[in-house]
Amino acid sequence: MGTVWRVKLAEVDQQRATELRQLIQQQLNDDDLELSTWKTDSVLSRFNQYQGNQPQKISANMADIITLALRIGRKTDGAMDITVGPLVNLWGFGPGKSPVSPPNQAQIDRARAQTGLQHLQVIETVAGQYLQKDVPTLSVDLSTMGEGFATDHLARLMESEGINNYLVSVGGAVLTRGHNVGGAAWRVAIQKPTDRENAVQAVVDLQGHGISTSGSYRNYYEQNGQRVSHVIDPNSGRPVQHKLVSATVIATTALEADGWDTGLMVMGPDKAKALALKEKLAVYLIVKQEDGFSSWMSPQFNAFIRR
Ligand code: FAD
């Protein structure tokens, strides 16, 4: 998935660890082959290549992810939009080539015309789940939620293997359950918004929940002296420009946390705060100020903080 996975277990011997490593890698490979837009032969890429409006059969897993993505998309007024792929590619953050100069308005308008959550629907039938688009060139990009899904999936694998004390993580999504090797609750750090890794901003005890961060401070490039973020505002068709540098969400699943964090990141600090309070989400925001950074957390997030 273009990223790293990490599984920490409280008590397993070397042989068991080797067995589990194989199961984990196999499952992640399978998830990648289903959800990747970077692999042209993945299930999702085949749906994207299909240029028709007939319902296409998808797995229950993919139906769950897309159904949740559409729900969060509606709640964020379209800020979280899994059809945003053409714009992501246009700005050089997808599998396509990076642009040498910023795209012009006509290119942005053309890409935007191929996006929109209203053009996509999941159909549940007794015979299974189907995905349908009414714009032939519409494509689905699950980059923003795939890591959360894969993290939950690893947690389910641990449970099915009879393991109850674990920390699982894919990319920026993490889920913990039980305790670490020292018998203490797992603690997860939120990084400071710098290019330097491992500077700690806050520490949380997830208590069986998932956490995910969306940020504009790592995945970006500079063009004409301006930072170009990989988070795209589907409304303008351009990378976000406001002062919110990261949004961290804790939710009952890593998938849900991973969906909300991008939506909030697109919305900017004021709208993100208002939505977090309205939806009673556990949210931690870091905002760029003239002389450094400020942070804000919702009451629900405060309950997870360890001081
Ligand atoms: P998040 O903030 O969670 O998501 C941002 C990403 O979501 C952007 O990079 C963009 O792709 C998309 N996005 C931007 N704006 C929006 C919006 N408004 N609404 C919704 N989505 C938006 N990367 C590689 O380099 N090589 C690979 O082979 C590769 N394979 C992958 C396979 C899978 C199954 C998945 C899920 C991802 C893969 N990736 C790959 C992408 C990579 O691992 C990260 O998922 C991606 O860089 C962004 O994740 P994030 O958590 O950093 O950012």
Q: What is the pLDDT of residues 53-93, one digit of tens each?
A: 999 999 999 999 999 999 999 999 999 999 999 999 999 88
- Per-residue model confidence (pLDDT) at position 196: 64
Residue 221's Cβ-side half-sphere holds a number of Cα atoms within 13 Å equal to: 10
Into which CATH architecture does domain 1-51+58-117+138-307 fall?
Roll (3.10)
Q: Are strands 128-133 and 56-58 parallel, antiparallel or unpaired?
A: antiparallel
- Per-residue model confidence (pLDDT) at position 101: 77
- DSSP codes, the chain: --S-EEEEESS--HHHHHHHHHHHHHHHHHHHHHH-SSSTTSHHHHHHH--S-S-EEE-HHHHHHHHHHHHHHHHTTTSS-TT-HHHHHHTT-SSSPPPSSPPPHHHHHHHHTT--GGGEEEEEETTEEEEEESSTT-----HHHHHHHHHHHHHHHHHHTT--SEEEEETTEEEEESB-TTSSBP-EEEEPSSSSTT-EEEEE--TT-EEEEEESSSSEEEETTEEEES-EETTTTEE--SSEEEEEEEESSHHHHHHHHHHHHHH-HHHHHHHHHHHT-EEEEEEEETTEEEEEE-HHHHTTB--
- Per-residue model confidence (pLDDT) at position 222: 66
Answer for the pair 214, 262: CB distance below 8 angstroms, yes or no. yes
Distance from the alpha carbon of residue 141 to the mean position of ligand 1, in angstroms: 8
- Per-residue model confidence (pLDDT) at position 191: 83
Is the entire prediction scored with pTM above 0.75?
Answer: yes
Mutational test site, ligand 1, from 4, 45, 144, max ligand atoms within 8 Å of CB: 144
- Per-residue model confidence (pLDDT) at position 280: 98
- Per-residue model confidence (pLDDT) at position 259: 97
- Per-residue model confidence (pLDDT) at position 217: 65
Q: What stretches in the chain show pLDDT beneath 50?
A: none
- Per-residue model confidence (pLDDT) at position 242: 87
Q: Which residues line ligand 1 (CB under 6 A)?
A: 1-3, 32, 35-36, 38, 79-82, 84, 88, 93, 141-144, 146-147, 171-172, 214, 219, 230-232, 234, 258, 262, 265-266
- Per-residue model confidence (pLDDT) at position 193: 75
Residue 33's Cβ-side half-sphere holds a number of Cα atoms within 13 Å equal to: 6
Among 159, 161, 144, 202, which Cα is nearest to 3's? 144
- Per-residue model confidence (pLDDT) at position 3: 93
Tens-place pLDDT, residues 30-59: 999 999 999 999 999 999 999 999 999 999
**Domain residues of the chain, as ranges?**
1-51+58-117+138-307
